[in-house]
Chain A
Amino acid sequence: MLSGFDFQTIVNALPYLFLTGMTFTLTLTLFATIGGMIFGTLLAVMRSSDNRILSGIAGGYVNLLRSLPLVLVIFWFYFLVPFLAQWLTGSSSPVRVDPFWSSVITFTLFEACYFCEIVRSGIQSLPRGQTLAASALGMTDRQALIYVILPQALRNMLPLILTQTIILFQDTSLVYVLSITDFLGAAAKIAQRDGRLLEMYVFAAFVYFVISLIASQAVKRLQKRVAIIR
């Protein structure tokens, strides 16, 4: 069983796996986390606003995307983005979008829904007195949000946000369905080229496992440190 395990295939594939594959996976994770956080916070603020139309739009968007499988959403945006780009740039035919940026847009828009729920629960977990105190000090709603509410909410929610980032890191492997060369895509390509499915998939699983495990243990540590003591 293990005697047939060909380590040499893995060693030979390492540069391709990490320089091409893992670089794609990590940059996609990073960009989508930042984009998802920004858009997600915006959605959360919209959802908790008193304006019915704003909160309705944000709520509908979040609920819609949360009820769909990520694979379907990936397909949706893969075909939708060229048309959106055409519409935005006013060109005459659908614009070809680089697979990387297409994935970044997809994951940003999708993960924003999950970040939105995290930030919203963070805002709601703050005592009402914080908002009242801010307005008693003469702050406008926007100032209260930016200087008082969000900094505390984000701090409370930091562990959850990081956990969601680990989930996002694992979810990026789904770009496989578009034959994009992320870490798993690179492993799958080598696996099929060399007929070494066993070695490549076990190695891919091992790498994902180690990274996710270390990251989630670090989040657990952090969780204890950032808790605001009241």
Chain B
Amino acid sequence: MNYHWNWWIFFEPSLDGTNTYLTTLFWGLGWTAATAIVAFAIALVLGSIVGVARTAPIGWMQRAGTIFVEIFRNIPLLVQMFLWYFVLPEILPRDAGMWLKQLPNAQFYTAAVCLGFYHAARMAEVVRAGLLSLSRGQKMAGQALGLTLPQTYRYVLLPVAYRIVVPAITSEFLSCTKNTSVGIAIGLVELTGTARAMQENTFQVFEAFAAATVLYLALNMVIVFAMRAVEKSAVIPGLGNRVAGRGR
């Protein structure tokens, strides 16, 4: 092998002149985490709404939910990223389009919103699986007590459904974190992007990608440990280890 290893490369100043390559990698990690958190917040809220809509006994809501899920699941994430970034400003009214194009950190907002919608479709399936795993009696009991349909969801069905699907939510969050790397295609400087830039500037391919690999593994571990705490506190005594469908 005529590859020249140089692990000291991390401490050399990067092209921006002030930071070392190591620092830029950690900045990349920060953007990855920020994008993942914002995107997943969107996915949780939107996914819950769509998931509830798909189980509600109201025809048009079910259809709207199904259409939402099918659209966002059947178009590759990268293509969706391009639609949000390149196409959306074009089809909006001129002023709104210009505003979008000139937004500082536009890549970050675009990537976060795009990932948010993409994972919302998958979260909707998770929430729906959780709701469907409850026995019919739960809903009937809620209604028999005089709760309205929204109240039944709010106080009876959702609190239990969420707790059942916590493991599936964990794996969705992990996959959302990994998918932030697709943002590289619209110029988001997240972890893979910084490693790629480091590789292009220094030709130290394997050091750059090894560092990114280690940081991704560390990020994964942090998420898994954090979610394990959530899982523990979400256990419903007596409900056993029933786990609803994992994503997909």
Contact = CB atoms under 8 A, between A and B. Distances in A.
Interface of A: 1, 64, 67-72, 75-76, 79-80, 83, 86-87, 93-94, 163, 170-171, 173-174, 176-177, 184, 188, 191, 197-198, 201-202, 204-205, 208-209, 212-213, 216
Interface residues of B, number: 40
Contact of A75 (B73, B78, B178, B192): B192
Given A87-B1, A197-B87, A68 B213 contact: yes
Contacts of B216: 67-69, 72
The secondary-structure label for the interface of chain A is helix
**Nearest 5 CB-CB pairings of A with B:** A69-B181, A212-B74, A170-B76, A69-B178, A71-B181
Interface of B: 1-3, 70-71, 73-80, 82-83, 86-87, 90-91, 174, 178-182, 184-185, 192, 195-196, 199, 205-206, 209, 212-213, 216-217, 220, 248
Given A72-B216, A174-B182, A191-B86, 12 more contacts: A67-B217, A69-B179, A71-B182, A79-B206, A86-B1, A170-B75, A173-B79, A197-B86, A198-B90, A201-B83, A201-B87, A208-B79
A1 B91 contact: yes
A191 B205 CA distance: 30
A197 B90 CA distance: 9
A93 B79 contact: no
A201 B213 CA distance: 31
Contacts of A71: 181-182, 184, 192
Contact of A208 (B74, B91, B179): B74
A212 B192 CA distance: 28
B75 A72 contact: no
A91 B91 CA distance: 53
Contacts of A87: 1
7 contacts: A67-B174, A76-B209, A76-B213, A173-B76, A198-B91, A208-B74, A208-B79
Residue among B74, B220, B248 facing the most chain A CB atoms (10 A cut-off):
B74
The secondary-structure label for the interface of chain B is helix
B71 A209 contact: yes
Contacts of A184: 76, 78-79
Contacts of B199: 75, 79
A67 B17 CA distance: 32
Residue among B76, B91, B179, B180 facing the most chain A CB atoms (10 A cut-off):
B76
B87 A176 contact: no
Nearest to A68: B216
Nearest to B221: A67
B77 A170 contact: yes
Contacts of B83: 201-202, 205
Given A71-B182, A75-B192, A209 B74 contact: yes
A80 B3 CA distance: 11
